[in-house]
Chains A and B, each alone.
Chain A
């Protein structure tokens, strides 16, 4: 069993739809990160969470430490949101483990 799992693996949505990407992990963590990788390969850090919920524009990230689960929500999705979204966890040894990523396509 992989330490970090994401679902779905691929997601196609229509512009304007509400999108949810899920991440579950099996190890103890000190923080969870959501990353966005653009089609050109560049990576941007979206959120870093150790508890609760964070919001940035149309993006919302939540984490439930007891259930070892996090979700990334995109409201009013847009074609420019098309990217791979990667969940990563860091443990107390500062070792980072990445999920396999969720490929999102938002159609106009």
Chain B
């Protein structure tokens, strides 16, 4: 158990809908990262937050947004969903903003299926 929790575990929804994925980092970790893993594209970095502020952005679509709250939990919002958004979404946390030098601890993931 990494100490990172993600909810829900599974999510099935329809095209055009909006969903919110939630992540709680390990106790004391200030950085949260979001990743998408699809069958055809592998793992992709989406976005990083540190202590409530956006710190790095990867291949995140404009239809997606994220935020980190004062209690450090983070939410990833996916809107106008398309079939291609079906994927595993992972959250990870690390102790500092220097994620490049910190070990990241991964949550169990949320499996999103868009029908």
Judge whether B100 is part of the interface by a CB distance below 8 angstroms. yes
Q: How far is the CB of A74 from chain B (nearest CB, A)?
A: 19
Judge whether A7 is part of the interface by a CB distance below 8 angstroms. no
Give the nearest-CB partner of B98 in chain A: A94
Interface of B is mostly: strand
Q: Is the CB of B45 within 8 A of A44?
A: no
Report A-chain residues with C-beta under 8 Å of the C-beta of B100: 30-31, 90, 92, 94
Q: Is the CB of B108 within 8 A of A48?
A: no
Q: Is the CB of A41 within 8 A of B103?
A: no
Report B-chain residues with C-beta under 8 Å of the C-beta of A30: 100-101
Q: Show the binding face of B for A, using Cβ within 8 Å.
A: 2, 33, 35, 42-45, 48, 55-56, 58, 88, 90, 92, 99-106, 108-109, 111
Q: Show the binding face of A for B, using Cβ within 8 Å.
A: 30-31, 33, 35, 41-45, 48, 50, 86, 88, 90, 92-101
5 of the cross-chain contacts (CB-CB < 8 Å) are A42-B109, A90-B99, A94-B55, A98-B43, A101-B42
